[in-house]
Amino acid sequence: MSYTVAVAQIKPKKADYQHNLARVAGVFEQVAHLSPRPDVLVLPETAMSGYFLEGGVREASRTAQELFTNLLARFRASFPVDAVLDVVVGFYEAAEGRFYNSALYATLSGTECPEPSRIVHVHRKFFLPTYGVFDEKRFVDRGRTIAAYPTRLGPAAMLICEDAWHSVSSAVAALQGALSLYVLSASPGRGFEGATTGNLQRWDRLLPGIAEEHNIFVVYAGLVGFEGGKGFTGSSRIVDPWGAEVVRGPVFDECVVSGSVDLDLLAAARAGTPLLMDLESNLGDLSLMLDRLVRGPHELLGANL
């Protein structure tokens, strides 16, 4: 199976949901005229509000259903009646009396398309950073799961920014069968070294490493723009299962980049470096070790004596 992914790195207006919804509608209009027309559109972390909201998270948050309904209406205003598009987008979510930094995966279809429009999955950011300029735990709750889910284009999973900085997150997603991993980020530039930044150098190592270790496609969507003097580094990209970039966006500018995801390549990549298969075969022992760590580090001392 092969499909086309478009990644839109946009600059949201801080805490202005309606403005950002109109911006996404503009992206719909843009990608509707691409050739080939994309099967999936991916937007960054907190694309509907901007990232550094702190106490403003409550006012900017929306339910997944409200966001889905709004996106569907804008999609149908831009695309043909028989069109279908899967959308991945980051937003602050209100759910069950709590607030989350979330990512929505939804299928949007025209009124004459046989594919039903639906919310496919919502991922809630699992690892919330609380260092440097970050203080997420004060304003949102963390998610409790990392899960692969079925889509019309094969099994997929989503991670949000720091989720991907922990190697266990992508491993959990791959072990559950994800073939495509969507990583949404609002990564402010820091540690500038000439034309690049320290955090961007980390992404340059991390994303190919995830793709190559698990032989999966990784799609990264990075926010751009400035909030409170902090500039987000964009650099959206698609990485193939050998860790090579298919396409990449610029560092600070808004843009849409697109490329092909060919899931038929995964078998060849995994035959060459079957690391995921090795991980699966050792999962039982790993599970026992993790269980001991949950009970306390002392449980592992002397375990092999």
Same domain, 63 and 145: yes
Return the pLDDT at 305. Answer: 43
Same domain, 268 and 279: no
Same domain, 263 and 305: no
How many domains does the structure of the chain reveal? 2
Residue-wise pLDDT for 28-78, tens only, equals 999 999 999 999 999 999 999 999 998 999 999 999 999 999 999 999 999
| 3 state DSSP class of 130 | coil
Same domain, 150 and 284: no
Return the pLDDT at 304. Answer: 54
Residue 303 has pLDDT above 70, yes or no: no
Same domain, 242 and 300: no
Residue-wise pLDDT for 148-169, tens only, equals 999 999 999 999 999 999 999 9
Residue 199 has pLDDT above 90, yes or no: no
Q: What CATH number does the domain containing 99 carry?
A: 3.60.110.10
Same domain, 155 and 291: no
Same domain, 12 and 28: yes
In the sheet that holds 217-222, the strands lie side by side as: 156-160, 180-185, 217-222, 237-239, 245-248
Q: At a CB cut-off of 8 Å and minimum separation 6, what does 27 contact?
A: 8, 10, 41, 43, 256
Residue-wise pLDDT for 202-228, tens only, equals 999 999 999 999 999 999 999 999 998
- Name the CA radius of gyration of the chain, rounded: 19
Same domain, 89 and 234: yes
Pick from 190, 204, 223: which is nearest to 43 by CA? 223
Phi-psi region of 296 (alpha: psi -120 to 50; beta: other; left: phi over 0): left
Same domain, 247 and 186: yes
pTM: 0.95
Same domain, 41 and 75: yes
Sign of the Cα pseudo-torsion (237, 262, 104, 150, in order): negative
Same domain, 164 and 283: no
- Structural domain containing residue 302: 274-305
Same domain, 72 and 120: yes
